Each structure stands twice: as structure tokens, then as C-alpha cells.
Amino acid sequence: MDAFITGALIVLLFALLGSGLWIGISLLGVAWIGMELFTSRPVGDSMAVTVWGSLSSWTLTALPLFVWMGEILFRTRLSEDMFKGLAPWLSRLPGRLLHTNIIGCTLFAAVSGSSAATCATIGKMTLPELKRRGYPEDMTVATLAGAGTLGLLIPPSIIMIVYGVSADVSITRLFIAGVVPGLLLAGLFMGYTIAWSLIHPERIPPPDAHMTFREKIHASRHLFPVVGLIALVLGSIYVGIATATEAAALGVVGALILSAIQGSMNAKVFMESLMGATRLYCMIAFILAGAAFLTLAMGYIGLPRRLAEFIGALGLSPLWLLFWLMVFYVVLGCFLDGISMVVLTMGVILPTIVKAGIDLVWFGIFLVLVVEMAQITPPVGFNLFVLQAMTKREITWIARVSLPLFLLMAAAVSLIYFFPGIVTWLPARMA
Amino acid sequence: MRRFLDAVYDAAGYLAAFFMVGVLAMVLASVVGRLAGFNLRGSDAYAGYCMAAASFLALAQTLKRGEHIRVTLFLESFGGKLKRPLELWCHAAGTFFCAILAFYSARLAWQSRAFHDISQGNDATPLWIPQLAMAAGALVLLVAMVDDFVLLIRRGELRGAHADELKAIE
């Protein structure tokens, strides 16, 4: 009987989500109905207390600040500067300027918490520039789609904050754990680009005019602002002088100073970034509030415990458990965005993960990688939406050209499974 | 009426932005305090309150601009005939749950005041004060939802918030 009702609640949740009801409201609603059916506790009061507690918690304050930092940087000339600084160094590498997408996204990911923002910021410079020089559009779009997802994995990362808060894992450790896998993935993307270019040399246009070493060094001065910002945000976390929240506050100030120096900051831009960040954060907060209440309701109903027992009884090895979770998340990613996916499932799946003896920091990185894959699978994938808006191409075309990069991400998932040190090595060396 | 309602959503939105700056100010104050060797009492808790106020007060404006995320896959693909009934259903259910949220948020603030509920942190804030922002934000959200519902019934069509116009978060 219990199993039937929990099943019915899950069906109800997906029906509400599918009907187009706002995700935050769907989560609140299902939790409310579930608690009314299952418990005699005062449901409305529990809801208000839970929502208040989740949205006023100190650990979460890093999130609105990183969102704001991203909104400021998006409105600067940072992407233009990075292109100018990177391009001269890449003319000898097979694939040439295609690598500006990958390296540009990697650098920008280190100051931005979101993959859509990374993709949009780098793409608004590289897409027109590469097109003008005659680079093949499919490879330009594919490398951008793939590398844009690094915004999730390379810290700071909004989705890691969300995971850290819902799974009660140190956000600082998650951030540091994401660095090496992020660089690994960027390396895989670059390797693929090099291999592709060696097979299709005729499709890569000739290099720009030759520059001497001194000229190249001079052009690199444009990279200073972003490198400085990375050092400020990640450096202060890694050395241990700042918490994730404090680093985020420093990042906002740094981004404001940077844009002021560039001359792209004024009262109008400031207000735009502030209002944009407030609404963007509000949208995330609404989902988090709904998910917090749903987690509470699910706990009363006992769903997470029963699921853990059920999966425990199946006797799956961790490898198969993770494999099925990966499939589950990629399928779920066809309908939901990453943050909703994480908050929706964490309350239910966490006991299973703990019971299987999987390290929660490692699982966080696994989850982020899988969500990254979901970002470029149709029909719902935010990077696809961003690229569709920028290139005016069909979403299915973008997804098709990005498929090799999707497979590389799957390869990265198996690499961190067989060599968990990729994830755990750096955090273990932290102060 | 129209102008008055829009002014209410905007005012709440600007207030939310003000509290967003408040989060930054509180966190910076604690950093500066630590560097300068004094401890600003309760700045962590205040940052949390500011964050809660920012998220609730912006709810209505975010809804009005179609920036609250929803699954539009089926809503768009059924197109024509089913779209309107689905939209009506969404707004009816939305109104119902927003009303519950608004009622219990107000009740929470009222109870905190009646029972003299004080924050357990070292800020010792009477909790009803920050919770007032939650109640106000939830109430304005309810008003905005009803507003959209009425517009939908009267005109049959709202702003076109397609999936690709939604702001991306990840």
C-alpha cells in the first residue's frame, strides 16, 4: 500500500511538471499533498519553517553572489580580451583557433558558476570571429557546446553549491575537487580537436599573420584581468583564507573593479546586472525552497530509506549502480534542467549512495559530469538553447555535431570511476 | 489598477535588489572585520536574512517576466487546442499553492512575534522581522499569480515565455 502511494506521488510529480506548472510550485505542491496524506503534522507550518530555514541559511549565500558576479562579467569586454590574448599562441596547434573556444571556456569557467553563461560569453566573441576566418561551423559549435559545460565542473560552480547544500558536503572541497577533472575534460576536448584537424587538414583555414614572440607576449597582457580574478577567487579558497561565500563576495568586488577599469561599467550596466542577478537567483531559490520541503515530506513518507533498502537488496555493484544512475540522469536531463534534477533527486538518492559506500565529494563530481552531459542532450539542454539563440541553427543539428564531445564526457566519467584519484587527489592536499 | 499593480511588483523587485546588495555588504563586513581584528556580531545571520528577503521579494517580478522556470516541452508541442486549458490549469493550481504559501508565511511571521521567537545565533534577532519580508514577498507573488490568471481568462493569451527565452541557470 505504501509503495503504491509513493509511486502515485512520483507519477503526480511528473504529471505536474509535465503540465507546465512552474517547477518550484510543483515541488511545493507534491510535498504538500504527500504530507497531507501521510502525516498528522501541521503541514502548512512545516512548509513555512522549512522554506524559511532553507532560504536564509548562511551556506547558501555563496550562490546569489556568484550569480551576480557572472551577470557582471557577462556585460564586460572580457571575452574579447581573452580572444585577443589567446589567439596568437594557438596558430601552430592543429585546429588553431578552434582551441580558443576550449581554453577560453576553461578560463572563463574559473570565474563563472554557470555553463550557459560560459557558453554565451565565450561564444559571442568566438562564433563571429571564427566564422569570418572560415573555420568549419560544425566544429566551432561543437567545441563551444562541449567546452561551455566546463562552467559547471570548474569552480566556482552554482550546481556544486546546490549539491553541497542538499547533501551537506563541504562546498570548498567540492570546488577544489572539480579542478583536475575539469582540466582533464578540457584536455580531452583539445585532443579530439587536434585529432580531427589532422584528419581534415583542408578544413582548417591558414593562420593569421605571423607574430614574433615579443608581440605574442604583448598580446597576452589582455589575459591579466581574468587570470587575476581567478587567482582572487580560487586562490583565496584553496589557500584557506576565504570560505566559498567570502570568495564569492571578493569575486563580485573584483568583477566590479575589472569592469570599471575596462570602462564598461556605469549606473545602467550596474542596475542591469543587479536586477538580472536578483531575478535569476530568485528563480533558483524558488526551486530550492520547493525541493527543501519535498525532501522533508519524502523523509516523513520514508521513500529515501525504502529506496536505499530496495537498491541494497538488488545487490548491484557500485559500477552498475553508477552506470544506471548515469543513464537515469541523462534521460531525466531530457526534460529537466540540472539544478532541478539535483535537488529533486538528492533527498531521495543520498541514503542509497551512502549505503553503497561511495564518497560524497566524489559523487558530487560524478553528478556534475553527468549533468554536463545532460546540458547538450535535446530537447531540454540549456547550452543547446544558448547556442540555438546565437547560431539560429536547429537544436537537433547542434546536438548532432556535439555528439563526439558528449561521448568524451562519458569517457571522462569512466576515467574518474577507474581512477578516483583524479577527483580526490587535490582536495586531500588542501590546507 | 494596472499601473498600480505593476508599480507594486517593481517596488518589491527593487527592494529585493537592495537586499541583494545587503548580502554582499554583510559578507564583506565580516571579511573586513576579521582582517581588522574585530568581530561583527551576527553578520553571517544578517547575510542569510538579506538573501531570504531578496529571494521572496523578487518572486512576483520574476513570474511577471516569465523567468520562473517550467517544463514547456508539452505546453508548446501540443500547441493550439490544448495550450489554453493547460495554461488555465497551471494558473489555477499556481494560485492555489501560492495562496497556501502566502498564508503560512504570514502565519509564521505572526507566530514568531506572538511567541517571541529569537534567532539562536549570536545576532539574537527577533525572527518575525526578517520573516516579514518572506510574508510580503509571498503575498505579492499571490497577487501577481491572480493577476496573470485574470489576464489569461480575459484575453486568452499571456506573454510568450518560450523555453529559449527562459534565462538559463546552469
Cα separation, A58 vs B46, whole angstroms: 9
In chain B, which residues have their Cβ closer than 8 Å to the Cβ of A336? 71
CB contact under 8 Å between B101 and A47, yes or no, is: yes
From B27, B30, B52, residue closest to A56, measured CB to CB: B52
B51 interfacial to chain A (CB closer than 8 Å): yes
Sequential DSSP letters for A109-153: HTT-S-HHHHHHHHHHHHHHHHHHTT--HHHHHHHHHHHHTHHHH
State the pLDDT at residue A2.
67
Residue B170 has pLDDT above 50, yes or no: no
Q: For residue B17, give how far its alpha carbon lies from the nearest alpha carbon of chain A (Å).
A: 6
Q: How far is A58 from chain B (nearest CA, A)?
A: 5
pLDDT of residue B164: 34
B87 CB within 8 Å of a chain A CB: yes
What confidence tier does A209 reach under pLDDT thresholds 50, 70, 90? confident
CA distances from B30 to A243, A247, A256, B39, B44 (A): 11, 12, 19, 7, 8
Give the span between the Cα atoms of B105 and B96, in whole angstroms: 14
Supply the ipTM of this predicted assembly.
0.91
How far apart (Å, rounded) are the C-alpha atoms in residues A12 and A243?
A: 40
Range with the poorest average pLDDT among A23-32, A209-218, A225-234, B73-82: B73-82
Q: Which pLDDT does position A431 carry in this prediction?
A: 59
Taking the C-alpha atoms of residue A102 and residue A145, their distance in angstroms, rounded to an integer, is 10
Q: How far is A238 from chain B (nearest CA, A)?
A: 16
Residues of A in contact with B74 (CB under 8 A): 18-20
- A51/B101 Cβ within 8 A: yes
CB-CB under 8 Å, B48 with A248: no
Give B79's pLDDT tier (boundaries 50, 70, 90): low
Packing angle, helices A171-199 and A421-428, rounded to 10:
130
Read off the pLDDT of each residue in A210-222 and give the average, rounded to a whole number. Answer: 87
Please report the number of interchain residue pairs, chain A to chain B, with beta-carbon separation below 8 angstroms. 211
What integer is the mean pLDDT of A29-49? 90
Q: Which of B68, B94, B103 shows the shortest C-beta gap to A283?
A: B68
Q: Which residue has the cell 578560463?
A: A107
